[in-house]
């Protein structure tokens, strides 16, 4: 039998910075991301087993993740809205290297226009579809720097909420300077391929 | 990335290990897997191609997740969980596979061409430095009196509400001749590593 490399569930990260007129000033292109966290596998475990599992929440506590009596539309929600910083793709300034057991961004940029803030756009969620030899789902979110000073974004991730508890399922480090009034758009592509 | 591996072991009636493939890269998540997350993240009901080739409900958002996406099959349940087959039609892996080519059914009394399906078991996601591993395992006993050759393996989820079954993972494997009274054990490992 011909041996092939493990494809598994791939994760790709792209970061695009645009000026106030929408002109692209930097684009990393799609790069392999490294950092599905243990919380994502714990959710899959919960679903496969049909029972609550506990996982480390963004506040460091142990909270339920996945399954049991709550409906699907209360599980693993990433549908972050405009000006909402607690679910969906999030960004921060922490540069500590990723680990499997990260449970939060190191220093998240929360919603606002002051120091330590960034303005969150709506979370876009694509559909699973065959794209060439792959099956992809794309997650996309834009952030605008309305603070008046340059922000250097050095980490990004995905927060989910499950019936009021919050978990981080992805975290990656990067370096993306975002000048005042510029926007940063983060794309995560989740891909399977045979 | 979530690396995914399978491992196949055979034991003789005395419990002695006859063969062990070691970890082999899996490369065959099929589209139904990402369609689960499409449904959860977009909070929308999702039909997908079931194991019979029909478009049926895989995820209903208003229903408890604990009734959907389950693989925790018990003894004798050959409709979901880890399953094995003979791949009589030599179907290659494809992103849009929706069933094993030729699934081997369960028999508890040694019916010809069938295997005795044991319960699927989990080893919860755990740190096994430098990785986080999640194992799913199932044993199949050959009581037919003659050898059976396994050439494909897969993972099928159950929607207990609509009683539908959807395959999310399929691998074509090197021939595994399971002798009479031998036990075949298949292990899938989902692994995150940063």
Give the ipTM: 0.95
Residue B162 has pLDDT above 90, yes or no: no
How close is the nearest chain B Cα to the Cα of A14, in Å?
15
pLDDT band at B175, cuts 50/70/90? very high
Other residues' Cβ atoms within 10 Å of the Cβ of residue B176: 19
pLDDT band at A69, cuts 50/70/90? confident
* Residue A69, CB-side half-sphere exposure with 13 Å CA sphere: 0
Supply the range of the domain harboring residue A102. Answer: 9-193
Residue A164 has pLDDT above 90, yes or no: no
Q: Which residues contact B108 (CB under 8 A, 6 or more apart)?
A: B76, B116
Give the residue among A77, A82, A84, A92 at the shortest CA–CA distance from A156: A92
Q: How far apart are CA A10 and CA A131, in angstroms?
A: 14
Number of structural domains chain A divides into: 1
pLDDT band at B120, cuts 50/70/90? very high
Say if residues B129 and A100 touch (Cβ distance below 8 Å).
no
**Domain assignment present for A154:** yes
Mean pLDDT score across all residues of chain B: 96
Contact between B2 and A34 using a beta-carbon 8 Å cutoff: no
**Domain assignment present for A1:** no
pLDDT at residue B194, as a whole number:
80
pLDDT at residue B183, as a whole number:
98
Give the residue among B61, B72, B156, B143 at the shortest CA–CA distance from B109: B143
- Read off the pTM: 0.95
Contact between A68 and B64 using a beta-carbon 8 Å cutoff: yes
**Domain assignment present for A151:** yes
Residue A3 has pLDDT above 60, yes or no: no
Tell me which chain A residue has its CA closest to the CA of residue B174.
Answer: A1
Query: Which DSSP state fits A78?
Result: -
Residue A146 has pLDDT above 50, yes or no: yes
Q: What is the arithmetic mean of pLDDT over A69-92?
A: 94
pLDDT at residue B160, as a whole number:
84
B149 touches chain A (CB under 8 A): no
At A156, give phi and psi (nearest 5°): -145, 160
Q: What is the arithmetic mean of pLDDT over B35-53?
A: 96
Say if residues A115 and A173 touch (Cβ distance below 8 Å).
no
Residue B41: list chain A partners with CB under 8 A.
76-79, 125, 137, 139
Q: How far apart are CA A121 and CA A16, in angstroms?
A: 14
pLDDT at residue A1, as a whole number:
43
Residue A75 has pLDDT above 70, yes or no: yes
Q: What is the arithmetic mean of pLDDT over A30-47?
A: 94
pLDDT at residue A163, as a whole number:
85
pLDDT at residue A5, as a whole number:
58
pLDDT band at B28, cuts 50/70/90? confident
**Domain assignment present for A76:** yes
Dihedral sign for Cα atoms in the order A77, B29, A12, A174 = positive
Among B125, B171, B175, most A C-beta atoms within 10 A, so best to mutate, is B125
Q: Look at A4-13, A38-47, A175-184 and tell me which has the smallest mean pLDDT.
A: A4-13
Residue A6 has pLDDT above 80, yes or no: no
- B contact residues 66-95, partner A, Cβ 8 Å cutoff: 66-72, 93-95
pLDDT at residue B161, as a whole number:
86
Residue A184 has pLDDT above 50, yes or no: yes
A49: nearest CB among B27, B122, B191:
B122
**Domain assignment present for A2:** no
pLDDT at residue B99, as a whole number:
98
């Amino acid at each position: 039998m011909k041996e092939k490399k493990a494809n598994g569930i791939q994760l790709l990260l792209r970061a695009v910075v645009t000026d106030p007129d929408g002109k692209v000033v930097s684009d990393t292109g799609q790069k392999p991301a490294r950092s599905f966290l243990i919380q994502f596998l714990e959710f899959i475990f919960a679903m496969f087993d049909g029972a609550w599992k506990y996982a480390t929440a963004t506040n460091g506590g142990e909270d339920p993740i996945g399954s049991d009596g709550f409906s699907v539309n209360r599980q693993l929600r990433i549908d972050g809205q405009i000006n909402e910083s607690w679910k969906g793709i999030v960004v921060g300034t922490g540069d500590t290297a990723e680990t499997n057991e990260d449970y939060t961004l190191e220093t998240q940029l929360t919603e606002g226009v002051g120091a330590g803030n960034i303005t969150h756009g709506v979370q876009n969620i694509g559909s699973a579809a065959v794209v060439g030899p792959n099956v992809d789902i794309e997650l996309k979110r834009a952030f605008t720097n309305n603070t008046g000073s340059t922000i250097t974004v050095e980490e990004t991730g995905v927060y989910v909420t499950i019936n009021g508890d919050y978990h981080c399922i992805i975290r990656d480090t990067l370096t993306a300077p975002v000048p005042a009034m510029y926007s940063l758009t983060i794309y995560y592509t989740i891909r399977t391929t045979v | 990335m979530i690396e995914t591996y399978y491992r196949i072991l055979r034991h003789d009636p005395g419990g002695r290990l006859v063969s062990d493939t070691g970890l082999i890269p899996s490369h065959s998540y099929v589209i139904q897997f990402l369609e689960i997350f499409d449904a959860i993240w977009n909070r929308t009901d999702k039909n997908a191609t079931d194991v019979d080739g029909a478009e049926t409900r895989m995820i209903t958002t208003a229903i408890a997740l604990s009734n959907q996406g389950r693989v925790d099959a018990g003894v004798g349940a050959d409709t979901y969980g880890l399953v094995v087959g003979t791949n009589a039609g030599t179907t290659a892996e494809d992103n849009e596979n929706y069933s094993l080519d030729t699934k081997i059914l369960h028999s508890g009394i040694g019916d010809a061409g069938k295997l005795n399906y044991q319960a699927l078991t989990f080893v919860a996601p755990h740190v096994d430095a430098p990785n986080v591993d999640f194992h799913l395992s199932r044993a199949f006993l050959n009581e037919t009196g003659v050898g059976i050759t396994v050439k494909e393996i897969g993972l099928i989820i159950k929607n207990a509400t609509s009683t539908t079954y959807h395959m999310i993972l399929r691998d074509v494997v090197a021939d595994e001749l399971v002798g009479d009274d031998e036990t075949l054990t298949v292990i899938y490992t989902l692994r995150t590593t940063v």
